[in-house]
């Protein structure tokens, strides 16, 4: 036996079950192909269009465009407002996360659901609601915030505080409080415990949330356009201007690339923080929550104030929608069955709602299919570090659509998707695809953490007991993962319903979606149209809330958490 030892051939390997390779290739290939064809290709084409001058790469544009004082000012403004908004969201979000995820009281779940609502509202709707609030004569008029930097801050915080609350909250909920208790017993005051024990443990979640908020703020478009008035712009609005008004593709490309660099950098930070978080142990929520105490009063106060702040624009919106030419009433809602004063619309508003719902369902199906496939693949833990790095990169690539301008994507569609087999330019499937692109990162962020949280030994148990790989997938991954899958579909559905940027680009006049209709009604003269726009906004908001509230009952903490 001893002599054989050095000449024995490599041992026979366990061959993977038939179909496993195919499944993995499909699972990784489908999302990659989707993002590649419908995102990387159009964006790449647009960017190249601007950088290639007479067939040769001309990078001089970088120097020229980035050297313009206006550009530098905008970049500074973009980064500045995003950073400030992130800080504010974290400072306000932490006490709220504490109240909503560490304490236990009636109505808590409803509050958790409500806080996600601003995130999914259409920017058009929110813009108008805020303007109505802030201008002279509005409820907050005396504060004289209209058109100021502060107004933009308010809107950005409005949209993004949910990210911090849910990301930090869901992590905090799972933290064992015994470390804090140990520190207290050792003699540390509550403040010391907070700064030296709690914050370091929450740091990965805070960093992750803050970087995502930074991302959303630095690429915010509708909000800045509506509220920033004309003095404040971001890289995003500038790209929009350069492309649509000036056809300065070179400038737009340079800015797109700059934006992409910033986005990738931020996503890397977020991914690293996410990795640190998954390594932490979690305890059951019941263990870590307690009834409110007197010491919680400041946090509760902050929560109530912020909740009031979040509710205010929505309340203003609803109130304004009930004001008709004849005083208060539901006239505006009844008018939704028509097509607006003087044929403002091609189809009645309810038909637009129907279109929105149908398109959102298609978008959800696409996003879910691709997001689930991607999540299943990314949640495998391969042995080789090279493969693991590839999976992390894959995960990051899927997040990119969050950070690229809808204008670039929309125009990119026009110039790339015009040859068979991808001549989809006038196909109605393009809108669900664009919406699915936006929803995909959210789907992955909802499903993936739950799948990675499954102990691989459970899968191994099932395998040894006799389950072939596909059955393991079904009996373990899907059995545990169906809840986040359902939650992710609800979330994607709500987001698709409210999506405006890409949709308005690609929408057809005879099959408009509800946000497009709202925008159109706002843009046309006639007081009835404005009333209808507001009523339609309220309907859209109500449907979105309804869907989110429904999936909230599944109590999937990863939804809206990054």
Partner 1 sequence: MQKRNTIIGLTLASALAIGLAGCGSTGSVSDDAQKLVLITHDSFNLSDGVLAEFSKQTGYEVEVQAAGDGGELVNKLVLTKDSPLGDVVFGIDNTFASLAVNEGVLEDYASKDLTAAEEQYLLPAGSGREQLTPIDNGDVCINVDHEWFADAGIEEPVTLDDLVKPEYKDLLVAPAANSSSPGLAFLLATVAAYGDDGWQDYWQQLVDNGVKIDAGWSDAYYVDFSGPSSEGDRPLVVSYASSPPFEVPEGSSVAPTGALLDTCFRQTEYAGVIAGTEHEEGAQKLVDFLFSVEVQNDIPESMYVFPVNALATLPEGWSDYARVAENPYVIEPAEIDENRKQWISEWAAIATP
Partner 2 sequence: MDTALRIDDLAVRFDGVAAVDGVSLDVAAGEVLGILGPSGSGKSTLLRAVAGLERLDSGRVSWHGADITALAVHKRGFALMFQDGQLFPHRSVAQNIAYALRLARTPAAARVDELLELVGLPGFGGRRVTELSGGEQQRVALARSLAARPRLLLLDEPLSALDRELRERLAGDLRRILVDTGTTAVFVTHDQDEAFAVSDRVAVMMGARLQQVGTPSDVWRHPASEQVARFLGYTTVLDAASSRALDPRAAGRIALRPSAVRVADGTPLTATVVHSTHSVDGWRLRLLVDSLGEVDAVAGPQHPLAPGDRVAVRYDRAAMAELP
Residues of this chain that interact with partner 1 (CB under 8 A) are: 49, 70, 128, 131-132, 135-138, 147, 225-226, 228-231, 241, 243-248, 325, 341-344, 346, 357-362, 364-365, 411, 414-415, 418-419, 425-426, 428-429, 483, 486, 489-490, 493, 505, 507-511, 520, 522-527, 530, 550-551, 553-554
CB closer to partner 1 out of 191 and 245: 245
H and E: helices and strands count for the chain:
26, 4
Residue 414's binding partner out of partner 2, partner 1, none, with CB under 5 to 8 Å set by partner kind = partner 1
What are the two backbone dihedrals, phi and then psi, of residue 290, each rounded to the nearest 5 degrees?
A: -145, 170
For 327, the token pair is 């005083």
Residue 7's binding partner out of partner 2, partner 1, none, with CB under 5 to 8 Å set by partner kind = none
Cα–Cα distances (Å) from 320 to 146, 175, 329, in that order, read 18, 44, 10
SS (H, E, C) 460-526: HHHHHCCCCHHHHHHHHHHHHHHHHHHHHHHHHHHHHHHCCHHHHHHCCCCCCCHHHHHHHHHCCCC
Q: Which residue has the tokens 């804090």?
A: 180
- Going by C-alpha positions, the residue among 364, 362, 352 that lies closest to residue 493 is 364
CB closer to partner 2 out of 12 and 56: 12
CB closer to partner 2 out of 312 and 480: 480
Residue 278's binding partner out of partner 2, partner 1, none, with CB under 5 to 8 Å set by partner kind = none
Residue 461's binding partner out of partner 1, partner 2, none, with CB under 5 to 8 Å set by partner kind = partner 2
Question: Minimum distance from CB of 118 to partner 1 (Å)?
Answer: 21
CB closer to partner 1 out of 299 and 359: 359
Widest Cα–Cα separation across the chain: 102
Question: Minimum distance from CB of 280 to partner 2 (Å)?
Answer: 18
CB closer to partner 2 out of 187 and 385: 385
Q: Which residue has the tokens 């969201």?
A: 89
Residue 228's binding partner out of partner 2, partner 1, none, with CB under 5 to 8 Å set by partner kind = partner 1
CB closer to partner 1 out of 53 and 181: 53
For 534, the token pair is 């507001």
Question: Minimum distance from CB of 170 to partner 2 (Å)?
Answer: 19
Question: Minimum distance from CB of 301 to partner 1 (Å)?
Answer: 32
Residue 392's binding partner out of partner 2, partner 1, none, with CB under 5 to 8 Å set by partner kind = none
- Which residue(s) pair with 53 in the sheet? 56
CB closer to partner 2 out of 301 and 465: 465
Cα–Cα distances (Å) from 153 to 149, 160, 197, 224, 441, in that order, read 6, 10, 31, 10, 25
Question: Minimum distance from CB of 460 to partner 2 (Å)?
Answer: 5
CB closer to partner 1 out of 170 and 339: 339
SS (H, E, C) 55-91: CEECCHHHHHHHHCHHHHHHHHHHHHHHHHHHHHHHH
Residue 10's binding partner out of partner 1, partner 2, none, with CB under 5 to 8 Å set by partner kind = partner 2
Q: How many CA atoms lie within 13 A of 68 on its CB side?
A: 13
How many whole angstroms separate alpha carbon 140 and alpha carbon 126?
Answer: 15
CB closer to partner 2 out of 281 and 457: 457
What secondary structure does DSSP assign to 267-332, as a single string?
Answer: HHHHHHHHHHHHTS----HHHH-B---GGGHHHHHHHHHHHHHHHHHHHHHHHHHTEETTEESSHH
Question: Minimum distance from CB of 508 to partner 1 (Å)?
Answer: 6
Question: Minimum distance from CB of 527 to partner 2 (Å)?
Answer: 56
Question: Minimum distance from CB of 509 to partner 1 (Å)?
Answer: 5
Gyration radius from the chain CA atoms: 25
Question: Minimum distance from CB of 12 to partner 2 (Å)?
Answer: 4
What are the two backbone dihedrals, phi and then psi, of residue 559, each rounded to the nearest 5 degrees?
A: -70, 120
Q: Which residue has the tokens 């003087």?
A: 342
Question: Minimum distance from CB of 480 to partner 2 (Å)?
Answer: 7
For 233, the token pair is 């712009």
- Going by C-alpha positions, the residue among 502, 500, 53 that lies closest to residue 254 is 53
Residue 447's binding partner out of partner 1, partner 2, none, with CB under 5 to 8 Å set by partner kind = none
CB closer to partner 2 out of 427 and 461: 461
Cis peptide before 421 (omega within 30 of 0): yes
Question: Minimum distance from CB of 229 to partner 1 (Å)?
Answer: 5
Q: Is the dihedral of CA 444, 447, 452, 458 positive or negative?
A: negative
What are the two backbone dihedrals, phi and then psi, of residue 367, each rounded to the nearest 5 degrees?
A: -60, -40
Residue 136's binding partner out of partner 2, partner 1, none, with CB under 5 to 8 Å set by partner kind = partner 1
Residue 476's binding partner out of partner 1, partner 2, none, with CB under 5 to 8 Å set by partner kind = partner 2
198, 206 contact by CB (below 8 A): no
Residue 425's binding partner out of partner 1, partner 2, none, with CB under 5 to 8 Å set by partner kind = partner 1
548, 120 contact by CB (below 8 A): yes
Residue 465's binding partner out of partner 1, partner 2, none, with CB under 5 to 8 Å set by partner kind = partner 2
CB closer to partner 1 out of 11 and 421: 421
Question: Minimum distance from CB of 418 to partner 1 (Å)?
Answer: 4
CB closer to partner 1 out of 7 and 419: 419
Residue 457's binding partner out of partner 1, partner 2, none, with CB under 5 to 8 Å set by partner kind = partner 2
Binding site for partner 2 (CB under 8 A): 1, 5, 8, 10-17, 383, 385, 455, 457-458, 460-469, 471, 475-476, 479-480
Question: Minimum distance from CB of 174 to partner 2 (Å)?
Answer: 16
């Amino acid at each position: 036996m001893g002599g054989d030892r050095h000449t024995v051939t490599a041992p026979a390997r366990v061959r993977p079950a038939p179909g496993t390779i195919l499944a993995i290739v499909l699972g990784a290939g489908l999302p990659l192909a989707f993002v590649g064809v419908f995102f990387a290709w159009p964006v790449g084409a647009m960017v190249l269009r601007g950088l290639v001058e007479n067939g040769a790469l001309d990078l001089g544009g970088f120097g020229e465009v980035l050297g313009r004082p206006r550009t530098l000012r905008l970049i500074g403004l973009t980064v500045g407002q995003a950073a400030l908004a992130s800080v504010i969201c974290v400072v306000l979000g932490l006490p709220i996360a504490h109240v909503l995820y560490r304490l236990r009281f009636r109505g808590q779940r409803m509050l958790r659901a409500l806080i996600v609502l601003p995130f999914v509202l259409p920017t058009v709707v929110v813009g108008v609601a805020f303007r109505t609030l802030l201008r002279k004569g509005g409820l907050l008029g005396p504060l004289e915030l209209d058109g100021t930097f502060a107004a933009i801050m308010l809107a950005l915080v409005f949209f993004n505080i949910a990210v911090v609350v849910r990301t930090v909250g869901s992590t905090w909920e799972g933290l064992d409080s015994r470390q804090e208790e140990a520190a207290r017993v050792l003699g540390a005051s509550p403040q010391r415990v907070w700064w030296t024990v709690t914050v370091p443990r929450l740091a990965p979640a805070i960093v992750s949330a803050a970087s995502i908020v930074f991302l959303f703020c630095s690429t915010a478009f509708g909000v800045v356009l509506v509220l920033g008035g004309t003095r404040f712009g971001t890289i995003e609005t500038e790209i929009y201007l350069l492309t649509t008004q000036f056809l300065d593709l070179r400038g737009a490309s340079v800015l797109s690339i700059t934006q992409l660099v910033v986005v990738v950098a931020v996503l890397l930070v977020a991914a690293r923080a996410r990795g640190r978080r998954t390594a932490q142990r979690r305890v059951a929520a019941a263990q870590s929550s307690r009834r409110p105490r007197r010491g919680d009063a400041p946090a509760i106060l902050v929560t109530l104030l912020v909740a009031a702040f979040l509710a205010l624009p929505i309340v203003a919106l609803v109130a304004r929608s009930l004001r008709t030419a004849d005083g208060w009433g539901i006239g505006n809602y009844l008018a939704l069955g028509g097509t607006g004063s003087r044929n403002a619309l091609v189809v009645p508003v309810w038909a637009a709602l129907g279109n929105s719902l149908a398109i959102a369902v298609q978008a959800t199906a696409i996003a879910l299919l691709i997001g689930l496939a991607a999540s299943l693949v990314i949640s495998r833990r391969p042995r080789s570090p090279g493969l693991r790095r590839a999976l992390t990169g894959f995960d990051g690539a899927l997040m990119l659509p969050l950070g690229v301008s809808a204008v670039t994507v929309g125009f990119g569609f026009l110039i790339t998707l015009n040859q068979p087999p991808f001549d989809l330019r006038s196909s109605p499937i393009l809108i669900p695809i664009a919406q699915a692109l936006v929803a995909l990162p959210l789907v992955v962020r909802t499903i993936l953490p739950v799948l990675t949280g499954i102990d691989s030994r459970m899968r191994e148990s099932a395998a040894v007991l006799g389950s072939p790989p596909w059955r393991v997938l079904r009996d373990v991954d899907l059995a545990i993962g169906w809840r986040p899958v359902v939650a992710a579909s609800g979330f994607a559905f709500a987001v698709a319903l409210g999506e405006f940027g890409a949709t308005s680009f690609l929408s057809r006049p005879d099959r408009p979606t509800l946000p497009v209709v709202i925008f159109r009604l706002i843009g046309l003269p006639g007081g009835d149209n404005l009333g209808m726009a507001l009523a339609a906004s309220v309907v859209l908001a109500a449907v979105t809330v309804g869907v989110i509230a429904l999936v909230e009952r599944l109590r999937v903490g990863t939804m809206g958490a990054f």
